[in-house]
């Protein structure tokens, strides 16, 4: 059997971190023709990449020295199809505990129209000392 190639994002996905701080971030994506899916609207993978990156940027500033974060799970709802323009994902950390952070993200057009909303959970890794204790404890 022959397989079929699905070539996506061939110009890449370039995001701009517009601002971040205090558990929030704004990240933008300028939509290009190479971001479209087979039916001519922005590929869900491009929207998700924007949301995921925006959430990570929002958490980043809350991390203490040595901590890193990775997404455990993210859900994105596609509220309206997108065909062109610049999108901005505004992400906010709802709560950051010792190991878990809850984050949400709204994606809007330059005109302020909501096109997607995401909600996710991140894991915060604390560096441990050789003795297995959280550093500084």
What is the pattern of x (binds a second copy, CB under 8 A) and - over residues 74-113? xxxxxxxx------------xx---xx-x-x---------
Work out whether 130 is an interface residue with a second copy (CB under 8 A). no
Work out whether 22 is an interface residue with a second copy (CB under 8 A). no
Work out whether 15 is an interface residue with a second copy (CB under 8 A). yes
Residues 6 or more apart whose CB falls under 8 angstroms from that of 57 comprise 17, 20, 25, 27, 91
First to last CA, the chain: 58
Task: Using DSSP, state whether 136 is helix, strand or coil.
Answer: coil
Interface residue with a second copy, options 32, 41, 67, 90 (CB under 8 A): 41
Residue appearing with tokens 């023709």: 33
Supply the Cα-derived Rg of the chain in whole angstroms: 17
Please tell me what DSSP assigns to residue 131.
T
Please tell me what DSSP assigns to residue 63.
-
Count of residues engaged in binding a second copy, rule: CB under 8 A: 63
Work out whether 16 is an interface residue with a second copy (CB under 8 A). yes
Q: Which residues bind a second copy (CB under 8 A)?
A: 1, 3-19, 27, 34, 37-39, 41, 43-46, 48-50, 52-53, 56, 68, 70-81, 94-95, 99-100, 102, 104, 114, 117, 119, 121, 123, 131-134, 137
């Amino acid at each position: 059997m022959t397989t079929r190639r699905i070539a996506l994002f061939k110009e890449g996905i370039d995001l701009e971190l517009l601002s971040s701080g205090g558990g929030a971030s704004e990240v933008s994506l300028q939509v290009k023709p190479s971001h479209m899916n087979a039916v001519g609207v922005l590929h869900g993978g491009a929207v998700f990449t924007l949301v995921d990156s925006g959430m990570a940027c929002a958490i980043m500033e809350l991390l203490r020295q040595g901590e890193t974060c990775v997404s455990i799970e993210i859900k994105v709802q596609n509220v309206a199809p997108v065909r062109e323009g610049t999108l901005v994902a505004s992400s906010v950390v709802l709560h950051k505990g010792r190991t878990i952070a809850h984050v949400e993200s709204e994606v809007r057009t330059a005109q302020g129209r909501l096109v997607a909303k995401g909600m996710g959970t991140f894991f915060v890794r604390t560096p441990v000392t050789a003795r297995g204790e959280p550093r500084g404890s």
